[in-house]
Chain A
Amino acid sequence: MLFKANRLSIKLPVASRLRSLWAVALLLSLVIPGCTTSQPTATLAPIDVIGIFPAANTIPGWELSQEGETYNRDNLFNLVDGQADSFFVYGFEEVAVQRYQNEAGVLLTAEIWQLATYADAYGLFSAAQAGSPAAIGNAGDSDPGRRLAFWQNRYFVSLHAVEPVPDETLHAFAQAIAGMLPMGGEPPDIVGHLPTSGLVEGSSIFFHEEVSIQVDVWLGGENLLGLSQETNGVVGHYKVGNATPLLMLIEYPTSSQAAEGLKALQSGSVSGLAASDALGNRLGAVFGEVDPAQAQTLLQEALK
């Protein structure tokens, strides 16, 4: 509880008491963080990310091959070179890296990425998906024996081995790390607006800015749609008959921004646009070679 309610000394009539209870509930909803936005906020208390990594031989046979390192916005480039912007757009705050080595000399790298919000951690996970689903954290993605990634709370964790290792080893590391991270986190609301029928599993990507989706859809590289950290978007690939269109939804802070985005999208500079519309503060679009009527059906299902 954030505060202690004063006990009322006067007994009110029932109707008045109910109105008072609603008023208190409304007041509580305004002061408790996260209740007024559509995004659950992360537990923002800082943690010692380096301290999360399993110690030597926690996973039997795996020693630390070097001291752990951390990178922030100032030096992330030293770790990921030109990809740094791809992480900044997901509210990147810090990444800790620890390498392990077994007796055979095989190297395994563990990375723990701290992002600004649950949504950002989910977003980075969704953008990095390349394998098969794995039951770890809130959701995992696996290239068995080589790579395992998951997201949990506002953290994205990635493990990769230079040479094949037993998949159980990757899962053991992942479980050890997941056990030390704060729990919680939900995908952002907009992801739930993707129609489920025909959605290709693992194809959805949550994004703020277009750099995160430019393999899927090229919007010109000039921020045509006015995207920013304040916009929440999602793309997903669909199977519609023999066609495989891409659905894109973007939630803007205001409906006028959505209308501007729609106007820009319909200006003709983006190729492959099959259908587009806006409803309130949401812009939707379908790309690809697909029957126009089917594109509209998909779009309207997403926007409703």
Chain B
Amino acid sequence: MTQLTRRKFLILTGMAAVNLALLETGCSKQDQKTTGPAAQRQAPAPTGDQAYLAVARGGDPDAIVKAALSSLGGIERFVKQGQDVIIKPNICVDYHPPEYAATTHPVVVGALVTLCLGAGAKRVRVMDSPFAGISPNAAYAASGIEDAVKAAGGEMEVMSPIKFAKFDIPLGKSIPSWEIYRDVLETDVLIDVPIAKNHSLARLTLGSKNLLGVVSDPNQIHSDLGQRVADLVSIIRPTLTVVDAYRILMDHGPTGGSLNDVKQANTIIASHDIIAADAYGATLFGLTGADIPYIKIGAEMGLGTLDLGAVKVEEVNVV
């Protein structure tokens, strides 16, 4: 029998304690399967006069964000006093500044941070997993989102690899489980803020596709893309989807690179229903939700509605 020295015993005990602590805080990247707590997160349906889907148009991105939220009943419908909020914009690369419409408009993100803190959120974090470029921090800076978030009182977070954990996807038809950023599933409020843009493979990136930034190994999601994106939506369940269509990328997405591909659409689309928001977003490209596989499948799975004619859509022009 191997004799443990006192020193070795203390080291082993200490390691065990640290590991246990990491497990309990969710920081250990051990292979674990749990039912995602996001199954409990409900996107609040409209009541009274509140719009199901809001579309605000105007030249000021800050103003149209606020107008869209006002049509939905205000940010207070989605964010309560003391809640933890994560905002997930699209910050995919550090190649281009915001006017190239590859990343979410910083003013849109800043406006949402301001609104959330104004509603009494205890913390507002903003994060994404850029896939190219020097580093997440470089992408955060190049997009202008870092400055806007800090100015509004929010926090930028670099997504740590050890915070990804494997979750069951009960409604998943192509993927029964996947590694997802734990904080995104556990936060009280998740606000999905895609920039509406062309995608060379998926046709469009909108709210549903934007959620690939919070999963591990997104490369594998691009096989059977439509179903897998819908499967992820079924577990991640944003509280609110705000589609940034102030400037939209019409071609050569998702990274773009030419201002010739950018169209000034001056539009913000917002809804608790990610499928409806995506369906409306598709119309800006001359398409319908049914033309985009992940939107169509998401509707078929009951994750939202494609039928914009059957819900209250409020359109606001902000002068």
Contact = CB atoms under 8 A, between A and B. Distances in A.
Interface string B202-225: 110000000010000011011001
B95 A215 contact: no
Interface residues of B, number: 33
Contacts of B258: 130-131, 143, 146-147
B131 A78 contact: yes
B43 interface: no
A80 interface: yes
A182 B120 CA distance: 62
Contact of A147 (B199, B221, B257): B257
Contacts of B261: 130
B131 A128 contact: no
Interface residues of A, number: 29
Taking chain B's interface residues, is the majority helix, strand, or loop, or is none over half, making it mixed? loop
A22 interface: no
Interface in A98-121: 99, 107, 109
B46 interface: no
Contacts of A215: 198, 200, 250-251
A189 B254 CA distance: 30
Contacts of A60: none
Contact of B131 (A80, A85, A109, A218): A80
Contacts of B94: 107, 162
Interface string A13-32: 00000000000000000000
Interface string A119-141: 00000000010110000000000
A166 B295 CA distance: 43
Contact of A82 (B97, B142, B254): B254
A171 interface: no
A65 B252 CA distance: 26
Given A66-B134, A221-B293, A81 B95 contact: no
Interface in B241-267: 250-252, 254-255, 257-261
Contacts of B201: 82-83, 85-86, 211
A83 B255 contact: yes
Given A86-B201, A215-B198, A215-B251, A81 B131 contact: yes
A160 interface: yes
Interface in A213-233: 214-215, 218, 221
Contacts of A86: 200-201
B41 interface: no
A79 B254 CA distance: 12
A82 B218 contact: yes
Contacts of B222: 77, 82, 84-85
Interface in A231-263: none
Contact of B132 (A81, A107, A147, A211): A81
Contacts of A128: 252
Nearest to A83: B200
A80 B255 CA distance: 8
A164 to B, nearest CB: 10
Interface in B58-98: 92, 94-97
A14 B221 CA distance: 70
Contacts of A146: 257-259
A82 B260 contact: no
Contacts of A99: 134
A162 B96 contact: yes
15 contacts: A77-B218, A79-B132, A80-B255, A82-B202, A82-B221, A83-B254, A84-B219, A130-B252, A131-B260, A143-B259, A146-B257, A162-B97, A214-B200, A218-B203, A221-B293
Interface of A: 65-66, 77-86, 99, 107, 109, 128, 130-131, 143, 146-147, 160, 162-163, 211, 214-215, 218, 221
